């Protein structure tokens, strides 16, 4: 009867017969409900499943389709026939019996595992058969089997189950106890068994593959982080090893022996990668130890691949033990070093290493049959451990990112400081340039006054001094206007007038005034112009050429004592050339020394401003001043 019905009936009786108060009735009802519920949960079901642990067994050849009539021996399940028939490879038949009430009801049948492949008959009717009953065998050692037996398959009274197991003594051939009983109860046990033996193992393999791919990609992007690479390889080989717990066939290998050799080799490779990961994670290197371990792995893999079936069990046990001891030793030593040496503390790694060590020891004892169990915890715990280690690596990666971000912030602050200093330096430099520009303008103004207005004044004074008669008013007015025009030219140049001007038009006023001055002084002045009538230059270049020419002519007027001056201005495709030649007394520039005056210095300065080349050639009766201007660069 359902618990709810018990509860309602009990509550109704209490309320009617005892006539308790409302609070007491509710309390009594609650206590009664708890008792009934506890009785329903913890009471043994009337039809509890029956676990068949006693059976009869007989061995046969690989191709036996029916059990032999004699040779049956009583056995207890779980059974490992290698203990009874150490060299038997082939088939062992198991016969089990149980009593079924009359009339028979549906029965659930659960076989947790067989090692390796199996076929099952119930009362002579086949209810299960694996795909491969000869080598390469189907792998049923980790796969629970459930069948719901309907009444037509059953008999009132004794029922017989016949299990044909194909296996090898080297791989602990045998089978588990058989459970029969109520289909719901048995199926619940099957679901739990399937969860432990298949589902969780499959989750572990899936998680391992994802983690291996993720950290492999991360290591490819950051090769310097070798811990990521070794963790990816470690996880990859563990995934290969754990695949043994979910694989139902030996594909792509062609025999059970090859599968066992490959599986144990993957375990050895995992152990080696685990040691290297722990070392790299702790930022340690042990070159000799790492070489010895690599050699051990290679020797183990070669030994397993070359072993025959007679030696396979021993060699598999040896190398499995070696791999387990390597993992246990690495976990133990690393934990001890981490706890004893505080130079590189890794607090999150210690509990994971200790858990790995504990699970490895327990599963090694199961493998060596020193612990009575058929379930390995390493596969169940592996994905938890891998996720834990992955989180440790992720935390390290996050710390590295935080360190990088902190470094970038400090670098950015330094850059901003450097930019501020550079800005201040540029401002100071700009202020200095302004001062230099003002000084340069004053120097230019002084040069222009000296070369232009000063030259005109010198010429006018010379005219007045050498005049045989008083100078007419018109001539005096013309001199003053020339001085005014030259002053305007200086003002225009100082104001930085822009725009293109024809060089011939700029030179024309100077040519007219200079010619008059020279003639007034009794000096013949001849001009030779070529290609300048259509040569357009900007204002600064025009004024620079004009001032150089004016300075050269003024020097010839004041100092040469010449009777004839020739001015040559010639334009080529890329250059402009000026030559001022006189037949005066000449000079030696080296002899002038500090007394060279402003004229030569001004001409050098103006030539440098124009990016031009200046040259003097002087000897008695012939002095030439030359200026060569590169029109392309200017």
Measure the CA–CA gap between 561 and 623, rounded to whole angstroms: 11
In 10 A of CB 479, how many CB atoms? 22
pTM confidence score: 0.57
The pLDDT, as a whole number, for residue 111 is: 97
Query: What gap in Å lies between CA 142 and CA 112, rounded to an integer?
Result: 8
pLDDT in tens, 53-102: 999 999 999 999 999 999 999 999 999 999 999 889 999 999 999 998 87
Q: Are residues 448 and 317 in the same domain?
A: no
Asked if residue 173 is part of any domain, the answer here is yes
CATH number at residue 622: 3.30.565.10
Concatenating the DSSP letter of every residue in 238-283 gives HHHHHGGGT-SS-TTSSSHHHHHHHHHHHHHHHHHHHHHHHHHHTT
Return phi, psi of residue 621, to 5°: 75, 5
Any domain includes 421: no
Average pLDDT for the chain = 81
- Burial of residue 168 (CB within 10 Å: 0-12, 13-18, 19+) is buried
In angstroms, the CA 618 to CA 626 distance is 11
- Please give the backbone phi and psi of residue 283, each rounded to the nearest 5 degrees, phi first: 60, 50
User: Is residue 181 a part of any domain in this protein?
Assistant: yes
Asked if residue 22 and residue 124 are part of one domain, the reply reads no
319 vs 553 pLDDT, higher one? 319
pLDDT above 70 covers a percentage of the chain that reads: 82
- How distant, in Å, are the alpha carbons of 129, 221, 231, 395, 397 from that of 389? 41, 19, 9, 10, 12
Domain presence at residue 89? yes
Q: Do 253 and 386 share a domain, yes or no?
A: yes
Look at 3-12, 114-123, 178-187, 545-554 and tell me which has the smallest mean pLDDT.
3-12
Q: Are residues 262 and 365 in the same domain?
A: yes
Res. 179 pLDDT band, cuts 50 70 90: very high
> Of 172, 193, 214, which marks where a domain is finished?
193
Task: Identify the CA nearest to 180 among candidates 125, 101, 124, 73.
Answer: 101
Of the ranges 48-57, 198-207, 476-485, which is most confident?
Answer: 48-57
Structural domain boundaries, residue 138: 50-193
Please check the confidence at residue 345 and state whether its pLDDT lies above 90.
no
Evaluate whether residue 12 is within a structural domain: yes
Beta-bridge partners for 501: 537
H or E segment to which residue 219 belongs = helix 200-221
Lowest pLDDT segment from 5-14, 184-193, 462-471, 558-567: 5-14
How do beta strands 564-571 and 613-619 pair? unpaired
Per-residue pLDDT at 494 exceeds 70 = no
CATH assignment of the domain containing 123: 2.60.120.260
Q: Where are the beta strands (DSSP E) in 42-113?
A: 50-52, 54-60, 73-76, 79-80, 89-100, 107-111
Phi and psi at 22, nearest 5°, equal -60, -45
From the list 304, 238, 302, 232, the residue with the least C-alpha distance to 270 is 238
Which one is predicted more confidently, 158 or 599?
158
- In this predicted model, which residue has the larger pLDDT, 597 or 468? 468
Question: Please, what sign has the CA dihedral across residues 75, 76, 82, 84?
Answer: negative
Residue 410 lies in a domain: no
Chain-centroid distance, C-alpha 333:
31
Residue 344 is predicted with a pLDDT of 52
| Residue 443 and residue 576 in one domain | yes
Query: Residues 482, 624: one domain?
Result: yes
Q: Which residues pair with 117 in a beta bridge?
A: 166
Position of tokens 């992007």? 221
Asked if residue 255 and residue 385 are part of one domain, the reply reads: yes
27 pLDDT higher than 60: no
Q: Express each pLDDT in 281-340 by its tens digit.
A: 888 889 999 999 999 999 999 999 998 888 888 898 899 889 988 988 888 887 777 776
For strands 575-582 and 622-630, give the pairing. antiparallel
Give the total number of structural domains in the chain: 4
Q: Strands across the sheet with 114-115, in order?
A: 79-80, 174-175, 114-115
Tell me, yes or no, whether 119 and 213 share the same domain: no
Identify whether the C-beta of residue 240 lies closer than 8 Å to the C-beta of residue 205: no
Does the pLDDT value for residue 176 go beyond 80? yes
State mean pLDDT over 27-53.
Answer: 55
Beta strand residue intervals within 328-457, DSSP E = none
| Residue 399 sits in the same domain as residue 298 | yes
SS3 65: coil
- So what's the pLDDT on residue 569? 92
**201 assigned to some structural domain:** no
Helices 349-367 and 377-448, packing angle to 10 deg: 150
Largest CA distance in the chain: 168
pLDDT band at residue 227 using 50, 70 and 90 as cut-offs: confident
The DSSP secondary-structure symbol of 169 reads G
**Pairwise CA distance, residues 317 & 264, whole Å:** 9
329 located within any domain: yes
Provide the β-strand partners of residue 145. 111
Q: Please, which pLDDT band fits residue 597 given cuts at 50, 70 and 90?
A: low
Strand partners, 571: 576
Are 327 and 451 contained in the same domain?
Answer: no
Res. 173 pLDDT band, cuts 50 70 90: very high
* pLDDT tens-digit series, residues 396-419: 778 777 888 888 888 888 999 899
pLDDT of the residue at 43:
41
The number of residues in the chain equals: 634
Q: What is the pLDDT of residues 233-252, one digit of tens each?
A: 988 998 898 898 889 999 89
List the one residue out of 220, 277, 236 whose CA is nearest residue 392: 277
Is there a single domain that holds both residue 486 and residue 550? yes
| CA–CA gap between residue 35 and residue 412 (Å, rounded) | 72
Domain finish residue from 138, 165, 193: 193
- Band (22; pLDDT cuts 50, 70, 90): very low
With cut-offs at 50, 70 and 90, classify the pLDDT of residue 618.
confident
**Which stretches of 18-72 are DSSP H helices?**
22-42
Write down the pLDDT at residue 37.
Answer: 42
Cβ(331)–Cβ(356) below 8 Å: yes
Report yes or no: 628 and 613 within 8 Å, Cβ to Cβ.
yes
- The pLDDT score that the predictor gives to residue 187 is 96
Q: What is the pLDDT of residues 414-462, one digit of tens each?
A: 999 899 899 889 888 878 877 876 776 677 677 667 666 776 777 777 7
Q: Are residues 507 and 599 in the same domain?
A: yes
């Amino acid at each position: 009867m359902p618990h709810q019905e018990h509860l309602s009936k009990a509550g109704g009786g209490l309320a009617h017969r005892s006539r308790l108060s409302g609070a007491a009735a509710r309390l009594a009802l609650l206590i009664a409900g708890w008792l009934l519920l506890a009785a329903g949960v913890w009471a043994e079901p009337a039809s509890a499943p029956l676990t068949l642990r006693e059976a009869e067994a007989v061995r046969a050849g690989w191709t036996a389709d029916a059990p032999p009539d004699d040779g049956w021996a009583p056995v207890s399940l779980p059974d490992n026939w290698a203990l009874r028939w150490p060299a038997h490879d082939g088939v062992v038949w198991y016969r089990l019996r149980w009593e079924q009430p009359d009339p028979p009801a549906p029965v659930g049948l659960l076989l947790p595992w067989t090692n390796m492949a199996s076929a099952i008959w119930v009362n002579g009717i086949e209810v299960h058969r694996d795909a491969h009953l000869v080598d390469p065998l189907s792998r049923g050692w980790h796969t629970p089997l459930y069948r719901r037996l309907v009444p037509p398959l059953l008999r009132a009274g004794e029922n017989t189950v016949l299990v044909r197991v194909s296996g090898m003594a080297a791989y602990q051939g045998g089978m588990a106890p058989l459970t029969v009983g109520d289909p719901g109860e048995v199926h619940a046990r099957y679901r739990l068994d399937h969860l432990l033996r298949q589902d969780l193992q499959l989750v572990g393999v899936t998680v391992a593959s994802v983690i291996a791919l993720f950290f492999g990609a991360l290591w490819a992007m950051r090769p310097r982080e070798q811990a990521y690479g070794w963790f990816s390889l470690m996880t990859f080989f563990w995934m290969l090893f754990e695949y043994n717990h979910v694989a139902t066939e030996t594909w792509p290998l062609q025999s059970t022996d090859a599968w066992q050799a490959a599986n144990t080799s993957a375990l050895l490779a995992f152990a080696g990668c685990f040691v290297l990961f722990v070392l790299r994670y702790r930022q340690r290197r042990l070159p000799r130890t790492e070489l010895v371990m690599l050699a051990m792995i290679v020797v183990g893999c070669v030994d397993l691949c070359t072993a025959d079936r007679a030696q396979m069990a021993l060699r598999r046990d040896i190398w499995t033990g070696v791999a387990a001891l390597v993992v246990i030793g690495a976990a133990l030593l690393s934990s001890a070093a981490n706890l004893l040496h505080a130079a590189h503390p890794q607090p999150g790694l210690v509990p994971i290493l200790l858990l790995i060590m504990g699970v490895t020891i327990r599963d090694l004892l199961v493998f060596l049959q020193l612990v009575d169990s058929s379930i390995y915890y390493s596969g169940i715990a592996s994905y938890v451990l891998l996720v834990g280690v992955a989180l440790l690596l992720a935390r390290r990666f996050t710390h590295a990112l935080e360190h990088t971000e902190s470094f970038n912030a400090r670098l950015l602050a330094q850059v901003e400081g450097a930019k501020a200093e550079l800005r201040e330096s540029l401002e100071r430099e700009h202020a200095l340039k302004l001062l230099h520009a003002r000084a340069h303008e004053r120097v230019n103004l002084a040069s222009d006054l000296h070369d232009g207005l000063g030259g005109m004044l010198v010429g006018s004074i010379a005219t007045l001094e050498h005049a045989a008669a008083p100078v007419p008013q018109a001539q005096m007015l013309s001199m003053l206007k020339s001085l005014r025009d030259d002053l305007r030219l200086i003002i225009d140049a100082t104001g930085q007038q822009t725009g293109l001007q024809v060089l011939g038009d700029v030179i024309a006023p100077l040519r007219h005034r200079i010619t008059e001055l020279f003639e007034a002084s009794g000096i013949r002045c001849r001009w030779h112009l070529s290609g300048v009538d259509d040569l357009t230059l900007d204002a600064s270049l025009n004024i620079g050429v004009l001032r150089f020419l004016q300075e050269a002519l003024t020097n010839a007027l004041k100092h040469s004592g010449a009777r004839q001056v020739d001015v040559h201005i010639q334009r080529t495709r890329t250059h402009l050339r000026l030559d001022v030649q006189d037949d005066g007394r000449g000079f030696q520039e080296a002899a002038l020394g500090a007394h060279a005056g402003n004229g030569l210095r001004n001409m050098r300065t103006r030539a440098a401003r124009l990016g031009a080349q200046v040259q003097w050639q002087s000897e008695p009766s012939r002095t030439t001043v030359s200026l060569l201007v590169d029109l392309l660069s200017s």
